Amino acid sequence: MTSVWDAAEAVAARFGEVDGRLLAAALVLHVANHGLRSLAWRNVLAAAYPSTRVPFLRVASSYAVGVALNAVVPGRGGDAAKVALVRVGIGGSSVATIASTMSVVVLFDLVAATLLLLGVAATGAIPFAPELGKLPLVLGATAALAVVAVVAARWFRPALRKLWAAARQGGAILRTPGRYARRVAAVQAGAWTCRIAVVYLLMAAFGLPATVASAAVVMVLCGASTLVPLTPGGAGTQQVMLAFALSEAATAAAVLSFSIGMQAGITAVNALLGVVAGMVAFRTLHPLAAIRNAVALARA
């Protein structure tokens, strides 16, 4: 019991040594990341609905509300709120098409995260040793899923045709690679740069050894902790993963204080941005009304 109390005191003591200037710089870059990701999504939506005006403010407020809800609502309910809010702002739009535009944005994220993970693995910063003995099992499971997919496609062909049409419309910008590179990929690359910089600054603020490689490791692991939304924002899972990955770089107290501080701080900022964005999206001056409306959308 004493050791647990001592560990808690050590974690709490780390918060008193945090550099506020680095935190302020991280805050600015975090907000910039929100803006860039919103801009990329807005450009994908504009390509899907070329004859309709797609206001950036509507997309940015929808994105901020969704991110805030994802941090507190399990099951990524915030994504449903994003789609619902954007649909209200784009006349004649459909849920399926808007959802497919989100997939276009996620596509870049998957590629970027994979490249980062492979780069980090190549440097040996985190363990990356797949067991080849399990390869036949993996291949067998993949083949079984492929058979199921073919059978399902035959049964649900009419519905799949409608979904395919919506997916083609949502992914319209992919058919113009130059435009996609300029208006989506480049913007998202800027957002990823901001995200890595935020983690770098927070690591330095909490006294951890900060490098671009270590910041990339932390960012990839934080993203991985939310892939299976067992808890809001990957709480708990994130702390375990970071404690394992950074165990050789810093003490357990330092890693835990950094992990808790980063998640709590980002969640608080996202919540504040979400409330303000909700007030804009729902055209109300009452924060509680905006919160109630946003939660209702997430649960719809």
Residue 96 forms part of a structural domain: yes
Residue 141 forms part of a structural domain: no
Residue 211 forms part of a structural domain: yes
For 125-151, what is the mean pLDDT? 47
Q: Band of the pLDDT at 98, cuts 50, 70, 90?
A: very high
Residue 76 forms part of a structural domain: yes
Question: Residue 191: is its pLDDT beyond 90?
Answer: yes
Question: Residue 235: is its pLDDT beyond 70?
Answer: no
Residue 220 forms part of a structural domain: yes
Q: Band of the pLDDT at 190, cuts 50, 70, 90?
A: very high
- The model's pTM is 0.77
- pLDDT tens-digit series, residues 175-186: 999 999 999 999
What is residue 132's predicted lDDT score, i.e. its pLDDT? 39
For 187-212, what is the mean pLDDT? 89
Residue 135 forms part of a structural domain: no
**Structural domain that includes position 92:** 11-130+172-299
Rounded-to-integer distance, Cα 283 and Cα 249, Å: 48
Give 16's Cβ-side CA count (13 Å radius).
5
- pLDDT tens-digit series, residues 33-89: 999 999 999 999 999 999 999 999 999 999 999 998 887 776 667 888 898 899 888
The number of distinct structural domains making up the chain is 1
Q: Band of the pLDDT at 225, cuts 50, 70, 90?
A: low
Residue 159 forms part of a structural domain: no
Q: Band of the pLDDT at 126, cuts 50, 70, 90?
A: low
Give 36's Cβ-side CA count (13 Å radius).
19
What is residue 263's predicted lDDT score, i.e. its pLDDT? 79
What is residue 39's predicted lDDT score, i.e. its pLDDT? 97
